[in-house]
Amino acid sequence: MSPQQPEKPVARQVRLQEVPNEEPKGKELLAGNLQLIKDVKVKVMVCVGRAEVTVKELFALKDDSVLKLESATTDPVEVLLDGKVIARGNLVAVGDSFGVSITEIVSAPGI
């Protein structure tokens, strides 16, 4: 009996919730007097998911290849500042762009 071939993942389009452009409610990410640093720009990254592949699988990727992530389309995404998770939320559509609707602020010492 020959071993079964793994099923090829099928890519499908994900429909994202459209979010109205309104003032956010809830607790601020960073409360306090930030007057001295309020105009400093920082880069925030959003991690949608991760995948672990072998080097062989990595080099086999080409146009139209699908790299399956370990997270489901309903899993929250992580918002990172300097590589550290500061919040979590749901991926949403804002016009023609992606956005994150924050659902959780991560508590950490010093924040």
pLDDT at 1 (0 to 100): 52
Where residue 111 falls among pLDDT bands split at 50, 70, 90?
very low
5 φ/ψ angles, rounded to the nearest 5 degrees: -80, 135
Report the SS3 class of residue 94.
Answer: strand
Domains of the chain: 44-105 (2.30.330.10)
CA distances from residue 22 to 12, 17, 19, 50, 101 in whole angstroms, order as listed: 30, 15, 9, 31, 12
Tens of pLDDT, residues 30-63: 666 677 788 999 999 999 999 999 999 999 999 9
- Computed over every residue of the chain, the mean pLDDT equals 85
- Is 108 in contact with 83 (CB distance < 8 Å)? no
- Residue the block writes with tokens 């998911």: 49
pLDDT at 9 (0 to 100): 73
Taking the C-alpha atoms of residue 77 and residue 100, their distance in angstroms, rounded to an integer, is 8
pLDDT at 48 (0 to 100): 92
Taking the C-alpha atoms of residue 45 and residue 8, their distance in angstroms, rounded to an integer, is 30
CA distances from residue 59 to 8, 64, 67 in whole angstroms, order as listed: 17, 14, 12
Mean pLDDT throughout 13-38?
Answer: 77
Taking the C-alpha atoms of residue 59 and residue 54, their distance in angstroms, rounded to an integer, is 9
Predicted TM-score (pTM) of the model is 0.64
pLDDT over threshold 80, residue 104: yes
pLDDT at 2 (0 to 100): 55
